Structure 1
Amino acid sequence: MVRLKIWIDITNAPHVRFFRDVITHFQDEGEDVIITARKFGDIHRLMDLFGFEFTSIGKHGVTLDEKLIESTRRAYELSKFISEEKPDVGLSKHSIELPRVTFGLGIPSVYVLDNEHALAANRLTLPLCDHIIMPEVIDLWDIMKTGGDPNVITRYRGTSEIIHFQNFEYNENIFEDLGLKLEREKTILMRPEPSLASYLDADCHESVLTPIVEILKDYANILIIPRFKEQADIFRGYDNVTIIRPPVDTFSLMKRCDLVIGAGGTMNREAALLGTPVISCYPGKPLSVDKFYIENGLMVRSTDVDEIVNTALRLLVSEKKAKEIKTDDLFRIIVESVYAAADNE
């Protein structure tokens, strides 16, 4: 039996958990898995936490010109690395560089998509992808407008976060294991906005969560998982506010908390799947994948501070009620798509 060589590129911290079970599956099947990862956020720490060997190539740019320079440099370095490795297929989730490198080297690629608002990234990548996997809730026309070929798209029910819980085991003692000293009965977990993302115009030294924290800290314990040091600095010095430094078992943390208030996306959707009440205060235009949870009654969205606070106080005294939603087996879709892409080489 011929051993398949699969290249997986990791460019954002949530993608580590997204691909964790996919990587393990391919390795258990005897395939040769090559992992590259850029230096950004908690990517390297999470890779080490899960015990994955990887090659660090490139880093994230902050300003527009830095993004262009770093992405160009990373594509160059990846091109040299991958031309020597000669993988049979490439797999990524919103990697800017993988589709460009695989296309240039004639390697088939599988691309996982869940953000139709990342216009610049989508225009740079989608026209070059051999296979695209995306939620059916995203309007196909939005993807076609940025160059995605509808003939190579596989759509599924649900969102990408459903794959994160493939082998999740809840640790109900997560608060104790983290040594948290919580004075109040209720606990809220918060996640600031993705200030450094190209699709969001935001200042990394400020956060939409600040006025929310200032009020709710008097009613509940506040746990905050910042994306980078500047965000952590915003919330230092507040009474009853604890900064959680990744990597930690965020799934157990979300499930144990009484409420999640997030100005991002991934953690909100994960919490919704875990049955924890969620308020999204993402400052940009809502993604279709967020609308999926809102329409299914698993998430509330608002950018009004008073409304968020009042909703939070109501949810804190309400009983948690997990709601089932029908989703497809995204794990199986990805695995089968990788093998199909390699067979069609």
Structure 2
Amino acid sequence: MRAWVDCTAAAHPLVLRPIVERLLASGHEVSVTARDYGQTVGILDRLGIRHEVFDRHGGGSGAGKATALARRSAALARWARPRRFDLALAHGSVDLAVVGTVLRIPSVQLQDYEHAGLQRQLSFRAARRVLAPDAISAEALRRAGAAERKQFRYPGLKEDYYLADFEPDRGVLDELGVDPDAVVAVVRPPPETSAYHARNPLYEAVLDRLVAEPAATSVLIPRTSAQADAARARGAPSLIVPERALDAQSLIALADLVVSAGGTMNREAVALGTPVWTTFEGRPGAVDDALIAAGRLRRLTRA
């Protein structure tokens, strides 16, 4: 079988790695493509996953996203057509959905957030199967574009699965120059270019509070180069912004707390047992609602 896997955001190499490895171990051919966005390519490199890079993110505007979608999908279609794939797999890639539909490649989409509007509708409607946590109801998935016959709802978190064999590496603290006896906070900025992004002034207030704590070391894992530059411009000695993709999962496991405006890093902290607070100000998804109700994730409302 010839399989195609597309990674369009930093979480995707982590989520899809076990599937890629299982397919390869079973003797299948796997081709991986990536979008040049945030730390996606760097994480693929760190994990040793061979890949080809196609285009970049279209930015925060609707027009920019549409242009990038058309451009990247066209390039991927030219690349994929002669390869005659039997299966396409992604975690919400709209480009893969478009190309899979045009070239009639059966596709599977993973997802654990049901409220991203048109993006979900396109990818879910094009997919042969949609894999999602069972915290998201069948009806919510149907409203998002996944007919019930397509749905495979699994227990727990996606992070439980891809971190099942994980062992933290304390070397990540040495790599960052972090005192292992210090209080370590991991910070993740909001997804400013995502369709579901809402303005998040709380993030800046939390960062102000953390860098003012003399006993704490804060490590910010940026989504974009602009976020990294803005954090470095603060000139705060207790704020570390890595220059390249690092073993964020080990860092989370070894940290004292995580404060994140995203989703995957929050749920990684939950899976690894690290106290975590969310500052996400978009529409909450069913998975996070369930974690908050269970007391495994806390919502931060002020710094």
- The question of whether the paired residues in 2 share the 8 Å contact of 1:11 and 1:38 is answered with yes
- The question of whether the paired residues in 2 share the 8 Å contact of 1:90 and 1:107 is answered with yes
Task: Look up the SS of the partner of 1:57 in the other structure.
Answer: strand
1:122 deviates by: 1.2
Q: How does 1:282-297 map to 2 (within 5 A)?
A: 282-297=280-295
Match status 1:225 vs 2:221? yes
Task: Look up the SS of the partner of 1:208 in the other structure.
Answer: helix
Task: Look up the SS of the partner of 1:190 in the other structure.
Answer: strand
Q: Which moved more, 1:96-105 or 1:165-174?
A: 165-174
- The question of whether the paired residues in 2 share the 8 Å contact of 1:210 and 1:235 is answered with no
1:28 deviates by: 1.5
Task: Supply the distance in 2 between the matched residues of 1:56 and 1:223 (Cα, whole angstroms).
Answer: 28
Runs of 4+, deviation exceeding 6 Å: none
| Matched-pair identity in % | 30
Task: Supply the distance in 1 between the matched residues of 2:202 and 2:270 (Cα, whole angstroms).
Answer: 21
Task: Supply the distance in 2 between the matched residues of 1:42 and 1:302 (Cα, whole angstroms).
Answer: 26
Task: Report the equivalent of 2:127.
Answer: 129
Q: Which amino acid aligns with 1:225?
A: I
Map Cα deviations across residues 99-121 of structure 1 (whole Å, 9 max, x no partner).
22212222211111211111110
Task: Report the equivalent of 1:313.
Answer: none
1:80 deviates by: 1.5
* Residue of 194, 202, 208 corresponding to 1:208: 202
Q: Which moved more, 1:270-279 or 1:216-225?
A: 216-225
Match status 1:199 vs 2:196? yes
Task: Supply the distance in 2 between the matched residues of 1:40 and 1:53 (Cα, whole angstroms).
Answer: 17
Task: Supply the distance in 2 between the matched residues of 1:276 and 1:217 (Cα, whole angstroms).
Answer: 20
Q: Which amino acid aligns with 1:128?
A: A
Match status 1:17 vs 2:14? yes
Task: Supply the distance in 1 between the matched residues of 2:145 and 2:23 (Cα, whole angstroms).
Answer: 30
The structure that has the greater radius of gyration is: 1
Task: Supply the distance in 2 between the matched residues of 1:98 and 1:282 (Cα, whole angstroms).
Answer: 27
Paired positions, count: 298
Map Cα deviations across residues 67-88 of structure 1 (whole Å, 9 max, x no partner).
0001011111111111110011
Task: Look up the SS of the partner of 1:244 in the other structure.
Answer: coil
Q: How does 1:25-36 map to 2 (within 5 A)?
A: 25-36=22-33
- The question of whether the paired residues in 2 share the 8 Å contact of 1:38 and 1:59 is answered with yes
Q: Which moved more, 1:230-239 or 1:256-265?
A: 230-239
Task: Report the equivalent of 2:230.
Answer: 234
Task: Supply the distance in 2 between the matched residues of 1:58 and 1:39 (Cα, whole angstroms).
Answer: 6
Task: Supply the distance in 1 between the matched residues of 2:174 and 2:272 (Cα, whole angstroms).
Answer: 20
Task: Supply the distance in 1 between the matched residues of 2:141 and 2:196 (Cα, whole angstroms).
Answer: 15
Task: Report the equivalent of 1:338.
Answer: none
- The question of whether the paired residues in 2 share the 8 Å contact of 1:283 and 1:303 is answered with no
Output the aligned Cα RMSD: 1.8
Gapped regions of structure 1 (runs ≥ 5)? 306-345
Q: Which amino acid aligns with 2:230?
A: I
Task: Report the equivalent of 2:64.
Answer: 66
Task: Supply the distance in 1 between the matched residues of 2:211 and 2:104 (Cα, whole angstroms).
Answer: 54
Match status 1:243 vs 2:241? yes
- Please give the TM-score of this superposition, normalised by the length of structure 2: 0.92
1:207 deviates by: 5.4
- For the structure 1 residues 147 and 218, does the alpha-carbon distance in structure 2 shift closer, same or farther, using more than 3 Å as the test? closer
Task: Supply the distance in 2 between the matched residues of 1:138 and 1:107 (Cα, whole angstroms).
Answer: 26
Q: Which amino acid aligns with 1:158?
A: G
Gapped regions of structure 2 (runs ≥ 5)? none
